[in-house]
C-alpha cells in the first residue's frame, strides 16, 4: 500500500534511507570495518582485467556512476554501454573480463540478451538485481542483490540508490582485491558508506522546499540538467525522471559540453538545473553555470550550504543538500532530482505512478 503517501513513487523515495541501510548491511562488515561481497570460491576478483557494465535507463545511469568509482578506486578499465547498443556493436571481449549487468527487474530483454551474449563469449557475469528470483539473478555467476523491496512506481527511485550502494561496495572490494586499498582507506570507505542512510534522511527534509519551487519549473516546455563527474549521470537521471512523469522535455548534459551546442537553447524560458556539490569540480561547473546566466538562463542550483553561499546569488532557486562525502554524494543528490520531478508532475496533474506509454518491466527488445 501507499501508506500515508499520495503516490507509490513518493513512498519509495521516502523509503530510501531504510532500504539503502538494508542493502548496505549485507555488504559492510561494520565491526571489522571491511566490505564483503558474497563471492563464490571460484570467483577471483583480482584476476579480472576489464569490466563491461551494461544496463538500460536509470540502471544504466547507476552504472555510469560506478564507472567513475571503479576507475578511481580499483584502477580497472571499464566499458559502459546501454544494453541495446552493446549487443549490436561487435564488442571486443577479452579474456578475464567481467560483465556487470544492473537491473531492478532482472528481466529487461536487452540487458538479459547482453548477459547471455557475454556469457557465451566467456565473460564472468555479475548481476546487481533487485528481484532475487529473476532470470538475470539466476543466470549470473555472482549475484549482488539490492534490497530495495518491491518497486511499484514505474519511475525507478529506491532501486537506483540501492544499486549505487552495491556498486560502491563492489568498487571497494575490487580495489582491495587489486591491492589498491589500504586497511585505513577501506575503513574510511566503510565509514562514509555507513553515513549514507542518515544523509538520505537529511536530503529528504528539503521535500517541502522543493515542492514550493516546483511550480517555477512546471510551466517550462524544456528543462536542462547539468553536472560534471559523477553529477553528470545524475543530470541524465534528473532529466529522465522529469520527462517520464511530467512529460516536459528535458536533457542532461555534461556541464562542460554546454558551450559545444546546447547553450544555443538557453533563454529565460528554459530552466537549467545545475547539480554541483562543493568540492574539486565545483568551480568548473559554476563557471559553466555562469555562462548560462550570462545568456539570461534561469538556474536552479542544487548544492550544499557552502556551494550555495558561493554561487547561489542570481539563481532562480537553490536547493540545499547536506554536506556529503564525494562517495555518497550521488546517493544524496538523487533525492532532490527525484523530488523535483515528482512535485513538477504533481503540479501538472499527470499520472505519477503510471506514466503514459511506459511499462515497469521492458521484456521486449
Ligand atoms: C526509469 C526507469 C527505466 C528503467 C529501465 C531498466 O525511471 O524505470 O528507465 O530503469 O527500463 O529497467 P531495469 O532496471 O528493470 O532493467
pTM metric for this prediction: 0.97
Which is nearest to 66 in space by CA: 203, 165, 152, 157? 165
Report how far ligand 1's centroid is from the alpha carbon of 219 (Å): 26
State if residue 163 touches ligand 1 by the CB under 6 angstroms criterion: no
Please state the ipTM of this predicted complex.
Answer: 0.99
**364: pLDDT strictly greater than 90:** no
Residue 14 — pLDDT band, cuts 50, 70, 90?
Answer: very high
State if residue 103 touches ligand 1 by the CB under 6 angstroms criterion: yes
Q: What is the mean pLDDT of residues 226-230?
A: 97
DSSP bridge pairs for 317:
300
76 — alpha (psi -120 to 50), left (phi > 0) or beta?
beta
State if residue 56 touches ligand 1 by the CB under 6 angstroms criterion: yes
Report how far ligand 1's centroid is from the alpha carbon of 114 (Å): 15
Closest atom of ligand 1 to 159 CA is: 14
Q: In this predicted structure, what is the pLDDT of residue 345?
A: 97
Distance CA 129, CA 227 (A): 27
Look up residue 331 and give its three cell numbers.
Answer: 546517493
Report how far ligand 1's centroid is from the alpha carbon of 160 (Å): 9
With beta carbons less than 8 A apart as the criterion, state whether 295 and 267 touch: yes
State if residue 104 touches ligand 1 by the CB under 6 angstroms criterion: yes
Q: In this predicted structure, what is the pLDDT of residue 31?
A: 76
> HSE (CB half, 13 Å, CA atoms) of 184?
0
Active site residues: 360
Cα–Cα distances in angstroms (integers) from residue 350 to residues 24, 159, 276, 304, 345, in the given order: 34, 22, 29, 30, 6
- Give the model confidence (pLDDT) of 53-65 as tens digits: 999 999 999 999 9
State if residue 153 touches ligand 1 by the CB under 6 angstroms criterion: no
Residue 365 — pLDDT band, cuts 50, 70, 90?
Answer: confident
- Give the model confidence (pLDDT) of 101-147 as tens digits: 999 999 999 999 999 999 999 999 999 999 999 999 999 999 999 99
Distance CA 360, CA 365 (A): 14
With beta carbons less than 8 A apart as the criterion, state whether 50 and 97 touch: yes
Report how far ligand 1's centroid is from the alpha carbon of 339 (Å): 18
Q: In this predicted structure, what is the pLDDT of residue 355?
A: 84
Amino acid at each position: 500500500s501507499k501508506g500515508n503517501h499520495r503516490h507509490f513513487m513518493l513512498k519509495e523515495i521516502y523509503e530510501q534511507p531504510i532500504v539503502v541501510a538494508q542493502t548496505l548491511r549485507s555488504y559492510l562488515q561494520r565491526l571489522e570495518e571491511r566490505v564483503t561481497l558474497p563471492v563464490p570460491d571460484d570467483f577471483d576478483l583480482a584476476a579480472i582485467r576489464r569490466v563491461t557494465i551494461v544496463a538500460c535507463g536509470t540502471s544504466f545511469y547507476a552504472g555510469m556512476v560506478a564507472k567513475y568509482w571503479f576507475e578511481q578506486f580499483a584502477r580497472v578499465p571499464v566499458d559502459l554501454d546501454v544494453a541495446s547498443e552493446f549487443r549490436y556493436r561487435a564488442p571486443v571481449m577479452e579474456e578475464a573480463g567481467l560483465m556487470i549487468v544492473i537491473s531492478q527487474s532482472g528481466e529487461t530483454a536487452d540487458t538479459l540478451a547482453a548477459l547471455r551474449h557475454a556469457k557465451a563469449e566467456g565473460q564472468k557475469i555479475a548481476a546487481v538485481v533487485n528481484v532475487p528470483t529473476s532470470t538475470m539473478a539466476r543466470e549470473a555467476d555472482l549475484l549482488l542483490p539490492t534490497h530495495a523491496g518491491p518497486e511499484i512506481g514505474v519511475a525507478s527511485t529506491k532501486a537506483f540508490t540501492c544499486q549505487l550502494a552495491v556498486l560502491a561496495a563492489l568498487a571497494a572490494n575490487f580495489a582491495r582485491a587489486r591491492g589498491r586499498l589500504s586497511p585505513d582507506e577501506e575503513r574510511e570507505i566503510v565509514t562514509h558508506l555507513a553515513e549514507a542512510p542518515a544523509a538520505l534522511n537529511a536530503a529528504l527534509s528539503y521535500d517541502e522546499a522543493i515542492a514550493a519551487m516546483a511550480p517555477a519549473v512546471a510551466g517550462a516546455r524544456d528543462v536542462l540538467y547539468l553536472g560534471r563527474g559523477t553529477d553528470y549521470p545524475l543530470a541524465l537521471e534528473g532529466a529522465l525522471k522529469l520527462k517520464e512523469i511530467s512529460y516536459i522535455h528535458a536533457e542532461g548534459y555534461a556541464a562542460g559540453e554546454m558551450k559545444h551546442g546546447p547553450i544555443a537553447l538557453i533563454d529565460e524560458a528554459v530552466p537549467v538545473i545545475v547539480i554541483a556539490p562543493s568540492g574539486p569540480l565545483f568551480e568548473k561547473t559554476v563557471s559553466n553555470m555562469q555562462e548560462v546566466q550570462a545568456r539570461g538562463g534561469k538556474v536552479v542550483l542544487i548544492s550544499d550550504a557552502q556551494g550555495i553561499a558561493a554561487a547561489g546569488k542570481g539563481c532562480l532557486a537553490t536547493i540545499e543538500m547536506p554536506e556529503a562525502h564525494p562517495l555518497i554524494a550521488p546517493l544524496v543528490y538523487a533525492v532532490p532530482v527525484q523530488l523535483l520531478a515528482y512535485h513538477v508532475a504533481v503540479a501538472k496533474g499527470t499520472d505519477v505512478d503510471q506514466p503514459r506509454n511506459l511499462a515497469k518491466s521492458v521484456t521486449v527488445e
